[in-house]
Amino acid sequence: ILNVEQSPQSLHVQEGDSTNFTCSFPSSNFYALHWYRWETAKSPEALFVMTLNGDEKKKGRISATLNTKEGYSYLYIKGSQPEDSATYLCAFKGAGKSTFGDGTTLTVKP
């Protein structure tokens, strides 16, 4: 079983704060690293797909970086808004299957 770890497990911030989470994964047999956003009572939706060491992706106020050599990815949210409240999952794609971390649950208070 592959070890994909996310930290912190949960995070409470005020509206307007910037925040970041970490995903660590095996540095061998790497195909891709995915970030998903998962709102309560909905299905996970893909945010970013990252495949190359040094990749940086951005979507609005959310960005992510990737370091495949040391096995970690950071997700950043700038100026958090209440609608950013969700669980953020990372998934390591190796040969044949994906392994998910347990997620970071973000709560943004107005």
Binding site for another protein (CB under 8 A): 1, 6, 31-32, 34, 36, 42-46, 49, 51, 89, 91, 93, 96-103
Gyration radius of the chain's alpha carbons: 13
15 or 102: CB nearest another protein: 102
Q: How far apart are CA 57 and CA 20, in angstroms?
A: 14
* Least Cβ distance, residue 50 to another protein (angstroms): 10
16 or 52: CB nearest another protein: 52
13 or 49: CB nearest another protein: 49
Contacting residues for 9 by C-beta, under 8 A, at least 6 apart: 102, 103, 104, 105
